[in-house]
């Protein structure tokens, strides 16, 4: 995956893709001017009359989708286009189901699709079908392997992995854990291109530091991760100096496995800044997580979706594989930075975090 940064109009990029034979067939007459790029549609729609927008999310195992992304997206649509209607579906880790959900939305007349794919390769078929009906598609959070995407809204996931790996290495060194000590890696699913980039970023920090990967698994499923972690604890025991986890669900699974085995907790990383993990971090269990602004990601997706549906050309700050993109930059979150990240941004109220069980931890870290 090639990422290029810097503001550059999507129209120019669309023209480049068109010249390369990757553009869409548009509605212009045969004798008319050159065909428009993939961001243009055939139907005249407006914010005044409203239209349908499709939102497809990949799973329910990651709590962020139902608690942050979906409500954030729907709220942003309501604010910008009160007469627009959001058609929503969650694939629940099923690529075929997600294809069916997309088919249904296209049949119902959506003017733009925002798709966070369960399987980034399989979802190319969704793009193909939408393009055939001149409906633009935005890849949301996870990349879809299709040159016919109109836009990508995501985060810098290689940087996510770098932050995780850097934090883990620094913690191990601070605890005087020698090079050569073992790490068990709980990576994300191979169907998710983001997981590949996260792993790449993490290893760029772990390997040069001299720590040894004892074992690894690729899954976003918490119970599967917990079962694997338990098996590795039984196999390696105290040789495990840390659990590298690509997200919070797997991190909490590793912590549950350590507790069940009576093992002293070792540093464990995460991603998504879920409420349970933020509380775990404050309690001294999970070591760190990474926060990407869910609200910022959802609001940017809505802004681009509304432009594309109206045939407008959204600007972009980045490109991914030549496709216009908007990539947020992640932030590492430890117990010392909870207040200045997720609390400051209003992701959680202090009352959400500082329940009776975590009140003392909140006081210790000046979260009021």
pLDDT tens sequence across 265-278: 999 999 999 999 99
Whether residue 181 sits in one domain with residue 102: no
Whether residue 196 sits in one domain with residue 110: no
Whether residue 168 sits in one domain with residue 250: yes
Per-residue confidence (pLDDT) for residue 2, from 0 to 100 = 63
Per-residue confidence (pLDDT) for residue 169, from 0 to 100 = 98
What is the percentage of the chain residues whose pLDDT exceeds 90? Answer: 85
Whether residue 316 sits in one domain with residue 256: no
Per-residue confidence (pLDDT) for residue 1, from 0 to 100 = 61
For the segment 179-194, the average pLDDT, to the nearest whole number, is: 95
* Domain contains 319: yes
Per-residue confidence (pLDDT) for residue 63, from 0 to 100 = 87
Among 206, 225, 204, smallest CA distance to 216 is for: 225
Count: domains in the chain: 2
Among 233, 238, 182, smallest CA distance to 210 is for: 182
Write down the pTM of the prediction.
0.79
Half-sphere exposure of 301 (CA within 13 A, CB side): 36
* Domain contains 172: yes
Cβ distance 99 to 125 under 8 Å?
yes
* Domain contains 179: yes
Report in angstroms the alpha-carbon separations of 172 from 145, 179, 208, 258, 302: 37, 9, 14, 18, 41
- Name 73's Cβ contacts closer than 8 Å, sequence gap at least 6: 55, 86, 114, 298, 301, 302
Hey, what are 91's tokens?
A: 């694939």
Hey, what are 100's tokens?
A: 């069916």
Whether residue 161 sits in one domain with residue 283: yes
Helix (H, G, I), strand (E, B) or coil at 264: coil
- End-to-end CA distance of the chain, in Å? 42
Whether residue 299 sits in one domain with residue 288: no
CA–CA gap between residue 52 and residue 341 (Å, rounded): 34
Whether residue 256 sits in one domain with residue 235: yes
Whether residue 288 sits in one domain with residue 302: no
Q: What band does 211 get if pLDDT is binned at 50, 70 and 90?
A: very high
* Domain contains 43: yes
What is the percentage of the chain residues whose pLDDT exceeds 70? Answer: 88
Cβ distance 307 to 112 under 8 Å?
no
Is residue 243's pLDDT more than 70? yes
Per-residue confidence (pLDDT) for residue 61, from 0 to 100 = 83
Q: How many CB atoms lie within 10 A of CB 106?
A: 18
Q: Give the range among 25-34, 70-79, 106-115, 118-127 with minimum mean pLDDT.
A: 25-34
Whether residue 181 sits in one domain with residue 276: yes
Q: What band does 29 get if pLDDT is binned at 50, 70 and 90?
A: very low
Whether residue 288 sits in one domain with residue 199: yes
Per-residue confidence (pLDDT) for residue 8, from 0 to 100 = 42
* Domain contains 342: no
Average pLDDT, the chain: 90
Site of tokens 């790029």 = 37
Sign of CA dihedral 336, 338, 341, 346: negative
Whether residue 207 sits in one domain with residue 320: no
Whether residue 307 sits in one domain with residue 238: no
Q: Which domain holds residue 89?
A: 3-149+295-327
CA–CA gap between residue 290 and residue 272 (Å, rounded): 6
Is residue 9's pLDDT more than 80? no
């Amino acid at each position: 995956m090639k990422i290029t940064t810097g503001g550059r109009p999507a129209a120019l990029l669309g023209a480049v893709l068109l010249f390369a034979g990757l553009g869409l067939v548009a509605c212009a007459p045969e004798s008319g001017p050159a065909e428009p790029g993939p961001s243009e549609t055939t139907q005249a729609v407006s914010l005044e009359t409203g239209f349908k927008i499709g939102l497809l999310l990949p799973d329910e195992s990651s709590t962020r989708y139902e608690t942050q992304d979906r409500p954030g997206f729907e709220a942003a649509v309501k604010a910008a286009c009160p007469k627009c209607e959001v058609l929503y579906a969650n694939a629940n880790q099923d690529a075929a189901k997600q294809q069916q959900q997309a088919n249904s939305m296209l049949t119902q007349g959506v003017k733009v699709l925002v798709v966070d794919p369960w399987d980034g390769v399989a979802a190319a078929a969704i793009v193909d079908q939408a393009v055939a009906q001149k409906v633009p598609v935005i890849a949301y959070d996870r990349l879809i392997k299709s040159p016919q995407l109109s836009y990508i809204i995501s985060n810098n996931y290689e940087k996510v992995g770098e932050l995780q790996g850097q934090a883990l290495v620094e913690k191990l060194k601070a605890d005087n854990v020698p090079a050569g000590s073992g790490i068990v890696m709980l990576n994300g699913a191979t169907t998710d291109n983001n997981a590949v980039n996260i792993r790449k970023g993490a290893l760029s920090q772990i390997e040069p530091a001299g720590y040894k990967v004892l074992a690894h698994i690729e899954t976003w499923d918490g119970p599967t991760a917990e079962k694997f972690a338990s098996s590795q604890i039984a196999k390696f025991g105290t040789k495990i100096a840390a659990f590298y986890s690509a997200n919070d669900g797997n991190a909490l699974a590793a912590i549950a496995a350590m507790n069940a085995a009576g093992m002293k907790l070792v540093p464990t990383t995460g991603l998504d800044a879920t409420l349970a993990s933020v509380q775990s971090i404050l309690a001294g269990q999970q070591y760190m997580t990474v926060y990407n602004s869910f609200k910022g990601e959802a609001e940017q997706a809505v802004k681009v979706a509304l432009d594309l549906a109206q045939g407008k050309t959204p600007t972009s700050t980045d490109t991914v594989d030549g496709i216009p993109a908007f990539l947020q930059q992640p932030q590492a979150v430890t117990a010392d930075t909870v207040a200045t990240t997720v609390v400051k941004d209003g992701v959680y109220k202090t009352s959400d975090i500082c329940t009776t069980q975590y009140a003392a931890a909140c006081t210790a870290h000046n979260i009021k």
